[in-house]
Structure formats: structure tokens, C-alpha cells
């Protein structure tokens, strides 16, 4: 079957689809990304045009195909210990929690395939050990959450894991699994993952002592960003910390937090 072309009209409809489903604003420059990522679904469903695939998504098709399309159109690139200064802060907060003999709860609010969640867990296990701590990872994509639960990654994702953590918390792949690592099962069992759309009302979770919402707001419109930040901060404890991506800002959101460091905020 000849590869279909994506018209400007259908591209505009896909942009509206992913905005309605996930609050993500795709720029006009993302046409090739949409075309490339959805081409497989056209082939799998035996469709000869993107327009027909849109009709399928908008019609009576079971929600599973909508979820597949959302999964394919959301960006999920990440790696362990991305933006290391946030983990320095986490280590400090964990030390304070240990001194006070209190539980520390962390939320990785757009966890993608789980590298951020497991990075948080490594720090908390290292500092707190058997003292109570919790890590929750959430994402809109069921596909990346399945990967997160396996804890299986290519070595390239692990380049920033501290050497002692790599030895303590990761198992190196051999033979057919060479070039990969597996997060230790004991650590995996202490991290929970859930599917969650930040663009909708949140379930009853938290409250958390620290929330990571990094490198996802850049895809939101200003209105969506304000609404998402408001929802997320409702799940943050007073005095808790909120970490965003270094390329992001809370400017214009009206968030009731104070900045304590670049890309780090504290809820009064």
C-alpha cells in the first residue's frame, strides 16, 4: 500500500484531537511527527488515508484505539537523573525527613517510561532505607506505563546514574539482553504507577512532599498550563516542593508558590 499523505486539514484535526484528549498543543512544525507516528496505525487498520483514521477515532471505535493514538502522539523521551540538581534537593529533603522520623511521599507527575520515578526511588532508598517512603509515577500513556513497570532499559538511558547506585539498584543484561539494564525487583516493588490525565480532574492521591512535573508544560497552551498547575498543586503538602523543567516557567499561571531555586518552588 502506498504511504498516505497528511493534508493540512487533517493535520489540523489531529492537533485538535490531541489537544482535546491530553491538553497538548502541537506546533505546526510537528506535521512530520504526526505523519510518521500514525502511519503504522493506518497500515494496521488497513486504511488508505489519515482522514479515514480520524473518522475511526471520532466514530464508534472502542476507546482502545483512541488510547493508542494518544500514546503515539505524546512525547516520551527521558533518562535517569535528568536535571541532577533536583535530585540534590530530594536528597536534602530525604535527610530532613529521616532526622524527623517522618514519611516522605513523592509524585512523578508525567513519568513517561519510569526513569524519573526510579531515580527518585534510588535516592529515597539510599537516604531513608527502611524508613517509610512512597513514590508514585503517573502518565497519560498506557504504553509507556507498561514499559515503566518492567523496569527494563537500554544502557544509554543510564549514563547519569551514580556508579554506586548502578551497582546497588540495577542488574546488567547479558547474552541477548546485553546493552540493557533491569531495575532491581526490590526497588521496583516500592514504586507504584497509574494512568492519569493531568488535563482532567485528579483522583484522590497524595498529598505529596515533593512533586516533579518536568518537561511536559512546554506542550500545553497557557490556559491548559494554568489549570494543570492548579490541579497538581492541590496535591502538594503545605511546605512541599514543586520541580519543573529548566526550560519551563510558572509565569502567568498565578500559582501560589514561592521560587526557592531555578525551576524549584515551595508551597507556603
**41 classed as catalytic:** no
Q: Of how many residues is the chain composed?
A: 268
Q: Is the Cβ–Cβ distance between 154 and 179 less than 8 Å? A: yes
Catalytic hit among 13, 37, 231, 266: 37
pLDDT digits (tens, 9 = 90+) for 215-264: 999 889 999 999 999 999 999 999 999 999 998 999 989 999 999 999 99
Q: Please say whether the dihedral angle defined by the alpha carbons of residues 81, 82, 87 and 88, taken in this order, is positive or negative.
A: positive
**157 classed as catalytic:** no
pLDDT digits (tens, 9 = 90+) for 90-101: 999 999 999 999
Q: What is the pLDDT of residue 133?
A: 98
- Position 64 pLDDT exceeds 90: no
Q: Which residue, 71, 62, 79, 58, is CA-closest to 22?
A: 71
The band of 27, judged by pLDDT with boundaries at 50, 70 and 90, is: confident
**Residue 257, number of CB atoms within 10 A of its CB:** 18
| 260: helix, strand or coil | strand
Question: Residue ranges of the domains in the chain?
Answer: 8-73, 85-266
pLDDT digits (tens, 9 = 90+) for 89-132: 999 999 999 999 999 999 999 999 999 999 999 999 999 998 99
3-state helix, strand, coil split of the chain in percent (to 5) is: 45, 20, 35
Q: Is the bond preceding 207 in cis, omega lying within 30 degrees of 0?
A: yes
CA angle centred on 216, ends 213 and 220, rounded to 5°: 120
The architecture CATH gives domain 85-266 = 3-Layer(aba) Sandwich (3.40)
**Residue 194, number of CB atoms within 10 A of its CB:** 12
Catalytic hit among 139, 188, 209, 235: 139
Q: Which CATH class is domain 8-73?
A: mainly alpha
Amino acid at each position: 500500500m502506498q504511504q498516505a499523505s497528511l493534508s493540512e486539514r487533517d493535520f489540523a484535526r489531529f492537533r485538535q484531537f490531541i489537544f482535546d484528549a491530553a491538553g497538548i498543543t502541537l506546533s505546526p512544525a510537528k506535521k512530520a511527527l504526526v505523519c510518521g507516528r500514525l502511519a503504522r496505525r493506518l497500515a494496521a487498520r488497513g486504511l488508505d488515508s489519515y482522514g479515514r483514521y480520524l473518522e475511526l477515532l471520532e466514530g464508534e471505535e472502542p476507546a482502545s484505539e483512541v488510547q493508542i493514538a494518544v500514546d503515539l502522539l505524546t512525547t516520551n523521551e527521558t533518562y535517569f537523573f535528568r536535571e541532577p540538581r533536583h535530585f540534590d534537593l530530594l536528597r536534602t529533603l530525604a535527610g530532613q525527613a529521616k532526622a524527623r522520623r517522618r514519611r516522605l511521599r513523592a509524585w512523578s507527575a508525567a513519568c513517561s517510561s519510569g526513569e524519573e520515578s526510579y531515580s527518585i526511588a534510588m535516592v529515597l532508598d539510599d537516604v531513608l532505607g527502611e524508613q517509610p517512603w512512597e513514590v508514585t509515577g503517573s502518565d497519560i500513556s498506557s504504553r509507556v506505563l507498561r514499559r515503566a513497570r518492567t523496569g527494563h532499559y537500554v544502557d544509554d538511558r543510564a549514563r547519569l546514574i551514580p556508579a554506586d547506585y548502578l551497582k546497588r539498584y540495577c542488574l546488567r543484561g547479558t547474552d541477548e539482553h546485553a546493552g540493557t539494564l533491569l531495575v532491581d525487583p526490590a526497588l521496583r516493588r516500592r514504586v507504584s504507577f497509574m494512568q492519569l490525565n493531568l488535563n482532567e480532574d485528579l483522583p484522590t492521591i497524595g498529598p505529596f512532599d515533593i512533586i516533579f512535573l518536568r518537561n511536559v508544560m512546554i506542550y500545553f497552551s497557557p490556559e491548559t498550563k494554568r489549570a494543570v498547575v492548579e490541579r497538581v498543586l492541590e496535591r502538594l503538602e503545605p511546605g512541599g516542593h514543586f520541580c519543573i523543567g529548566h526550560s519551563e516557567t510558572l509565569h502567568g499561571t498565578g500559582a501560589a508558590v514561592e521560587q526557592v531555586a531555578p525551576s524549584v518552588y515551595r508551597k507556603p
